[in-house]
Amino acid sequence: MAQLKEISCVGRVAGCFLSTDRKPSLEKTAREQLALTLDGIVGDCHAGRTRPSDSRTLKQYPRGIDIFNTRQISIASVEELAEVAARLDIPEVKPEWLGANLLVEGIPDFTLLPPATRLMFSSGATLIVDLENHPCKYPAEVIERHHPGHGLAFPKRAMKKRGVVAYVEHSGAIAKGDQIRILVPTQETWPHLKDSLAGA
């Protein structure tokens, strides 16, 4: 039976971000603190217990089917965004350009945290990591507006570095400066995964 094991490093919240409307722009604005319920971040455009299926879930469902929202919250890493900026040859990649809700620091290889990892914040909330948040054209377009000639390479340059999406397991608050306890599942990788992917 899989268990959760706390890892030795302790992360920290370096930034909190929110946007009430996703249509005008991907970008979010900074906040000192975020309130979370089981529906996600209060007031954020990605909140909701459910969401419509989209291009990410076409192998499971037709587009527009109501499914559980495992993408309530987008999280990026200070260290990884610095790597992406270096790869793009620009001074910085701001988390709000990616539509991130949280910026964390001090967690090595943050994007590679396995699904079902718990992030427990000192202000009270707990998040469950769902999956890597794959880089796509939308943040590339935002970065391109700020740094013409550099942003469109983002999808290739940010692989395994954009961060993760997560959903709320325990309601509470997350504030800038919070410490983050990290509990990682100990379950073994399914032994047939490599063969299955090779035949895909």
Sequence ranges of the domains in the chain: 13-187
Architecture of domain 13-187: Beta Barrel (2.40)
Q: Tokens 């013409």 correspond to what residue?
A: 148
Q: Which residue has the higher pLDDT, 64 or 25?
A: 64
Strand partners, 181: 120
Cβ(162)–Cβ(135) below 8 Å: yes
The structure tokens listed for 23 are 């249509």
Mean pLDDT of 147-159: 95
Mean pLDDT of 60-80: 93
Cβ(167)–Cβ(128) below 8 Å: yes
Q: Is the pLDDT of residue 119 over 60?
A: yes
Mean pLDDT of 62-69: 89
Residue 67: strand, helix, or coil: strand
Residue type, position 183, single letter: L
Residue 132: CB atoms within 10 A of its CB come to: 18
**Quick one: pLDDT at residue 127?**
98
Mean pLDDT of 47-73: 88
Residue type, position 82, single letter: A
pTM for this one? Answer: 0.91
Q: How far apart are CA 74 and CA 102, in angstroms?
A: 7
**Quick one: pLDDT at residue 38?**
97
Q: Is the pLDDT of residue 1 over 60?
A: no
